[in-house]
Amino acid sequence: MKIDVECVPCFVRQALATVRRATDDESLQWLVMRDVGHLLDGLSTDTSPPEFAERVYGIIGAVTGNDDPYLEDKKRANSLVLELEAGFKDMLRTADDAMLTAVKLAISGNSMDLGVVADYGDVAALAKAMLSEELVVDDYASFARCLGQASHVVFVGDNAGEIVFDRMLIEEMRKVHACRFTYVVRGRPAINDVTIEDARTAGIDRVAVIVDSGSGAPGLVLAECSDAVRSLFLSADMVVAKGQGNYEALSDAPRDVFFLLLVKCPVVSREFAVPVGAAVVKHHRVG
């Protein structure tokens, strides 16, 4: 997905919110915002939003010396959802279709995106509300069918906190069809996106092999990934990509991908022709 003109004010807002987390020094905040302005001046419209975001967050880290300003937010997110996990497990045990319920819970966790919201809100209430909603884009039947034929699933993570829901989903997927899982995280801190340490805290290592992308983009930009991750992505029997950033990076992927996300902005809303806030399970097909 290529960057849209409507993405520009969003990047400025994200840059300001992040640099304020990174430093209290107003002179450094001004320097970052001026540098982001220069970056916008040379922006190619062929750039994807995650590619540009990586440059923005790179400026913030270089200027402030703080390359992980969301570190404490990520810890809080994981702790928050881990404390709620027992209640979510009860929902799964009583569900008619536990894997569909786990899919919806995982999508509800995609709300925990500090690139979009200022705080995590009532995670339990959002998750419960999601269970009563229909998927607005519903390729769940295809998702279940592909899982039943897979020997290796690559799962691309998104945000801290959300990854606890991802682990619960993978647990349910393994009950339906026991196969190998690889979980891909960011190679460097990006907003509150998941890194290896976050994934281990959430217990992902109990259900999947964790690998980092080799990139600090807040989306799986294949051109910036390590050769090993590109190979895993292309060779897996099934790829599941969580969140809007991964959709923005992989919407033109050269293979089938299942996107699980909440639609969070007008640009992606138009891409899917659904309202902002819609829950999506989209099977991107090639050929």
Average of pLDDT values for 14-40? 96
The pLDDT assigned to 114 comes to 86
Average of pLDDT values for 148-168? 97
pLDDT band at residue 27, thresholds of 50, 70 and 90? very high
pLDDT band at residue 37, thresholds of 50, 70 and 90? very high
Q: How far apart are CA 263 and CA 209, in angstroms?
A: 28
Per-residue model confidence as pLDDT tens digits over 162-217: 999 999 999 999 999 999 999 999 999 999 999 999 999 999 999 999 999 999 99
Residue 96 has pLDDT above 80, yes or no: yes
Residue 116 has pLDDT above 90, yes or no: no
CA–CA distances in Å: residue 225 to residues 112, 131, 232, 284: 24, 34, 11, 20
Average of pLDDT values for 8-25? 95
Average of pLDDT values for 151-165? 97
197: buried, middle or exposed (CB in 10 Å: 19+, 13-18, 0-12)?
A: middle
Q: At CA 125, angle to CA 119 and CA 130, rounded to 5? A: 105
The pLDDT assigned to 191 comes to 93
State pTM to two decimals: 0.95
Per-residue model confidence as pLDDT tens digits over 227-261: 999 999 999 999 999 999 999 999 999 999 999 99
Residue 118 has pLDDT above 80, yes or no: no
Q: At CA 147, angle to CA 228 and CA 109, rounded to 5? A: 80
What is the pLDDT of the chain when averaged over all its residues? 95
Would the CA dihedral through 217, 219, 223, 225 be positive or negative? positive
Q: By percentage, how much of the chain surpasses pLDDT 90?
A: 91
The pLDDT assigned to 42 comes to 87
DSSP code of residue 116: T
The pLDDT assigned to 62 comes to 97
Residue 67 CB-half CA count within 13 A: 10
Per-residue model confidence as pLDDT tens digits over 219-233: 999 999 999 999 999
3-state secondary structure 221-251: CHHHCCHHHHHHHHHCCEEEEEHHHHHHHHC
The pLDDT assigned to 99 comes to 98
The pLDDT assigned to 115 comes to 85
Write the single-letter amino acid at 158: D
The pLDDT assigned to 287 comes to 73
Report yes or no: 266 and 6 within 8 Å, Cβ to Cβ: yes
The pLDDT assigned to 67 comes to 94
**Cβ neighbours around 53 below 10 Å, total:** 30
The rounded Cα 64 to chain-centroid distance in angstroms is: 25
The pLDDT assigned to 58 comes to 95
Helices (H) and strands (E) in the chain, counts: 12, 7
